[in-house]
Amino acid sequence: MDKKTILVVDDAPSNLILLNNLLCRDYRVKVANSGSRGIKLALADDAPDLILLDVVMPELNGFMVCDVLKKNRKTRHIPILFLSTLHHEDEVQRGLTLGAAGFITKPVSSEQLAAQIAACFAQSRQYAFE
């Protein structure tokens, strides 16, 4: 079975390296160091199966990227998990209102990350059979 693809969008190189290292054994990982690059990779012919998206980034923040992707017919079905140091209820609610599947607080726990990713993929399989 082919590995699912996860797109990690974060402006911090150390976060991209960490997440790639945590995920590369079980998933095909693509990385983008900006919101605009993340949108470009999400819209590519080989679109990701899930997106891990940082909230605080220059130019296009994660909320803006999520809004663009959820309004596009080609990408609106892709689950998005926000990753952020922000953890106030209003930020979490904003992300969920935009269509995100979840919100993970940094620093990332590898166990929580794995559980959230598994839950997203299980939910997408459920929708595929309905």
16-72, pLDDT tens digit by residue? 999 999 999 999 999 999 999 999 999 999 999 999 999 999 999 999 999 999 999
Q: What is the pLDDT of residue 89?
A: 86
Q: What is the pLDDT of residue 97?
A: 94
Q: Which fold has domain 5-129?
A: Rossmann fold (3.40.50)
At position 19, the amino acid (one-letter code) is L
Cα–Cα distance, 41 to 104 (Å, whole number): 22
